[in-house]
Copies of this chain bind each other. A is one copy, B any other.
């Protein structure tokens, strides 16, 4: 797809969160808002599941390097897969598996959200590198950087869990 066409699509759909490719735009244009919300809630469950596995491995008496590599690889791939289109216009409110926990501020934050998403992508990629090359102590430091990016977004843009 030509760049000019991409820009036109982006403009038409009013998407401001993250850069997204043409295929991703096609999908979000085709999917219902509740489906997009369901997918993004599932993505964050998988992020939570894989982060939980890394934490358990770090807390265990015997460090399981293979387990951390598998969990971190899935975490990074999902974090880098292009989540932005799941926050398309029309998904500011609504129910996927449950009512969206995204605050209205998220959809108005523009480039700030892209920056946070970029931080998550970068720090999870780094976690995979550290998991493959280093021991538990180094993984713990890098995992702290990953969870800091999670917290930064939750603090500003997620409704507090009840």
Contacts and interface: CB of A to CB of B under 8 A. Distances in A.
Most B CB within 10 A of own CB, among A30, A57, A81: A81
A26 B158 CA distance: 29
Given A71-B81, A73-B81, A81-B73, A24 B39 contact: no
Interface in A105-143: none
Contact size range, A? 35 or more
A14 interface: no
A45 interface: yes
A31 to B, nearest CB: 8
A45 to B, nearest CB: 4
Contacts of A73: 77, 80-81
By Cβ-Cβ distance, the 6 closest A-B pairs, closest first, are A77-B77, A23-B67, A42-B45, A74-B81, A42-B42, A23-B57
8 contacts: A21-B67, A23-B56, A43-B46, A43-B49, A50-B81, A70-B81, A73-B80, A97-B97
Interface of A: 1, 21-24, 26-27, 30, 38-39, 41-43, 45-46, 49-50, 52-53, 56-57, 60, 62, 64, 66-68, 70-71, 73-74, 76-78, 80-82, 97
